[in-house]
Amino acid sequence: MYHQPYPFNGEKIKVSVVAQKNGKIQAEAKKYLPDLVIGYSSGENEILSIPFLKTRLVHFDEYLEALNENLKYNEPESSLIYIDYEMSQAVLLSNYIFQEDSVLEPLETELGIKSIKRFRMNINKHPEGKNNIIDRYSETLAKFKKCSTSYYESKTNLTLDFWVNPETKKAFDINFKDGIFELFRLFKFFIR
């Protein structure tokens, strides 16, 4: 990989794309690449969605293997995000919880969506196996419980109901200090 400093009339400078041994130091090229690559499709676009869906299936297989073998599972941190119909819901919810009304105005004028009154999260706790990935998110689930209007929890499921009003938004602001993107990533994780 090469880069050429502004005003782009000088010599090209070679940049390493190989990380140092054991990945302790990132490749120099990492600072020139985006932190996130986002793909979006409003419908069934196979050419665009296949690489993202394959990645999700590989991660799911790794999770199942770890669950069945009682191994520790580390959720992969991917720089690829594919926003489809389900992920659009996470984007919309995150925005309606954290954004100011003035930012959301185009959604009302163009689409007729004024606000979100309520939503529900149903989380399957996958109680099989000793190494349950949901256990790693107990602090996060506690935050969601603090923001919810009501919740019901059993050994296998957690149902959280949210009535979206100024107090709910304040609770999300207090409990999810990193804001809209943190909330989106968590919604994305639980939608999988």
Do 25 and 98 belong together in one domain? Answer: no
pLDDT at 176: 92
Q: Please state the rounded mean pLDDT for residues 27-39.
A: 79
More confident residue, 163 or 32: 163
Share of residues in the chain with pLDDT > 70 (%): 84
Between the alpha carbon of residue 104 and those of residues 41, 70, 93, 127, the distances in Å are 21, 45, 11, 39
Number of domains in the chain: 2
Do 21 and 114 belong together in one domain? Answer: no
Do 14 and 99 belong together in one domain? Answer: no
Query: pLDDT grade, residue 143 (50/70/90)?
Result: very high
How many residues make up the chain in this entry? Answer: 192
Query: pLDDT grade, residue 152 (50/70/90)?
Result: very high
Q: Please state the rounded mean pLDDT for residues 140-152.
A: 94
Do 13 and 52 belong together in one domain? Answer: no
Identify the sign of the CA torsion 98, 103, 107, 113: positive
Do 107 and 24 belong together in one domain? Answer: no
pLDDT at 172: 95
Q: Which domain holds residue 21?
A: 2-32
Do 106 and 148 belong together in one domain? Answer: yes
Do 67 and 9 belong together in one domain? Answer: no
User: DSSP per residue over 55-75, as a string?
Assistant: HHHHHHHHHHHHHHTT---PP
pLDDT tens-digit profile of 57-106?
A: 887 787 777 777 777 666 655 677 777 776 788 888 899 999 988 899 99
Do 139 and 63 belong together in one domain? Answer: yes
pLDDT at 73: 65
Instruction: Establish whether the linkage from the previous residue to 7 is cis, with ω within 30° of 0.
Output: yes
How far is 4 from 74, CA to CA, in rounded Å? 37
pLDDT at 22: 66
Between the alpha carbon of residue 162 and those of residues 22, 92, 118, 120, 168, the distances in Å are 44, 15, 5, 6, 8
> Is the distance from CB of 74 to CB of 30 less than 8 angstroms?
no
Do 126 and 171 belong together in one domain? Answer: yes
CA angle 96, 116, 81 (to 5 degrees): 50
- The pTM (predicted TM-score) of the whole model is 0.69
Do 78 and 8 belong together in one domain? Answer: no
